[in-house]
Amino acid sequence: MENFRIFDESDLEEWVTNNPEGLIVNSNPSGFSSKYIVLHRSSCESFSKTGRSQITYSKYCFENAHILYLELQTLGIDLKGVRMGCTTCHVNRFIPVQDKKDLDLKVNQLLKTGLQSKPKGNDKPQESNSTITAYLRDPQVVAWVKNRAKGSCELCMKNAPFLNKDGFPYLEVHHVKPLSEGGKDVVKNCVALCPNCHREAHYSQESSTIAQRLARIGAKLDKFA
């Protein structure tokens, strides 16, 4: 099966009608190349506008974002580096991502603008093997903090919501100052939280206030344990 189709302007309109979730890439006529890529959704009004440019770019048309993603991967083009998504149709929001932060960002943008129709999604989500920055964490630190919590959340003080498969209270160990921001993987920088509080610490509007509280809690608890 061909991964994408190339058009001169003539049949494009029909393709666009038949592929509402399609993506169109304007790129070099000589070949799909990372030197010039502008992505559009097929519903975008402005992919045909060449502006003042004299060059007619070829249209590389993909049925959906997943297929495009795979093709770009094959070509060794990292979409994270592709900053040339059209800002009229906000195509970037529709491209699958692996990074949780990127995903949340796009989801929130979509929630603000609204979805036009139920998305098809992807029957076979691609395993992504590009590198995410992950930090090695010391299991002893996690275990120590969980022991210190004695089965209840160190923020809301409620009991852990359930026992895990090994029979231990289910709590999540959270870094008060995130490792990604230079936080240390040490007991003093960690608190054990129930899942609700943990999510709240990361995603709520109050997260900076919560972070301050958690810093105080973490420091205080560390003195006594």
Tracing tokens 């301050």 back to the chain, one arrives at 212
Other C-beta atoms closer than 10 Å to the C-beta of 28 total 15
Q: Which of 156, 163, 219, 225 binds Zn ion (CB under 5 A)?
A: 156
Q: Which of 155, 190, 210, 214 binds Zn ion (CB under 5 A)?
A: 155
Give the x-and-dash track for 4-33 against Zn ion (CB under 5 A): ------------------------------
- Contact, 97 vs 103, CB < 8 A? yes
Q: Does 145 bind Zn ion (CB under 5 A)?
A: no
Give the x-and-dash track for 57-76 against Zn ion (CB under 5 A): --------------------
Q: Does 86 bind Zn ion (CB under 5 A)?
A: yes
CA distance 214 to 192: 10
Q: Residue 138: phi, psi to the nearest 5?
A: -80, 115
CB nearer to Zn ion: pick between 24 and 72: 24
Q: Residue 123: phi, psi to the nearest 5?
A: -65, -35
CB nearer to Zn ion: pick between 67 and 192: 192
CB neighbours of 217 closer than 8 A, spacing ≥ 6? 154, 155, 191
Which whole-number Å values give the CA distances from 145 to 44, 140, 189, 202, in the listed order?
51, 9, 10, 19
Q: Which stretch binds Zn ion (CB under 5 A): 74-82, 89-97, 123-131, 138-146?
A: 89-97
Local structure of 64: helix, strand or coil: coil
Q: Provide the minimum distance between the beta carbon of 44 and Zn ion in the complex, in angstroms, as a whole number.
A: 3
Residues that bind Zn ion (CB under 5 A): 40, 44, 86, 88-89, 153, 155-156, 174, 194, 197
